Amino acid sequence: MKILFSLLSNSKKSLQRILKWYSQKIETYPLVTKGLTSGFLAGSGDISCQYLVSLYQTKQSTSLSKTSTFELDYKRTFRFAFLGCILIAPTLHVWYAILSKYVKTRAAVSTNILRTVLDQFFFAPMFLPTYLTSLMILEGRNFDSYIIPKLKRDTLQIIMVGWYVIYSKYVHYN
């Protein structure tokens, strides 16, 4: 039991050191730190997504062979990680700094609501097409024959899903 307590205590101290180091890096090198963090999260999120889709497809398969192996699409993961580093992190860093500096009300709740409204109804409709276009360019898609029609077809639906998620959270908490 003492060994387990010692391991947990050391783990807690290690985690505290890592968090302290990370906080220092956020303060001294905010864009680099956020870029690397965003790239890591986007890349690892894509790996998780690919793996879960692979598991689902294997379970849904009607073939007799259920022993398919998972094959990671490295290029796809790189695209997501790359956009996390060079597009998402810097853009959101600047956008949320603007919101923090200029959008303030007397009550914290109304400040948060106003920032959310600006984020979802002003920023998201501009940023999402930028992100999707960047992703499709990295995929090698043709601008006129693929990207523009896809944006026209899907952008509003993607934005509305974001609005639904925000709306449902507010309804849930109220």
Write the DSSP assignment of 63-130 as a string of letters.
SS---PPP---HHHHHHHHHHIIIIIHHHHHHHHHHHHHH---SSHHHHHHHHHHHIIIIIHHHHHHH
Q: Provide the residue ranges of all domains of the chain, joining segments of one domain with +.
A: 2-173
Within 13 Å and on the Cβ side, how many CA atoms surround 26? 11
Confidence at residue 4, expressed as pLDDT on a 0 to 100 scale: 45
Cα torsion 47, 48, 52, 54 to 10°: value is 10
Confidence at residue 35, expressed as pLDDT on a 0 to 100 scale: 98
Within 13 Å and on the Cβ side, how many CA atoms surround 73? 14
Distance CA 174, CA 56 (A): 35
Q: For 102-133, what is each residue's pLDDT tens digit?
A: 999 999 889 998 999 999 999 999 999 999 99
Within 13 Å and on the Cβ side, how many CA atoms surround 103? 18
What 3-state class would DSSP assign to 174? coil
pLDDT at 172 over 80: no
Q: For 9-59, what is each residue's pLDDT tens digit?
A: 677 788 888 999 999 999 999 999 999 999 999 999 999 999 999 999 888
Q: What angle do CA 144, 145, 150 make, to 5 degrees?
A: 95
Confidence at residue 125, expressed as pLDDT on a 0 to 100 scale: 96
Distance CA 133, CA 128 (A): 8
Proportion of the chain above pLDDT 70, given as a percent: 87
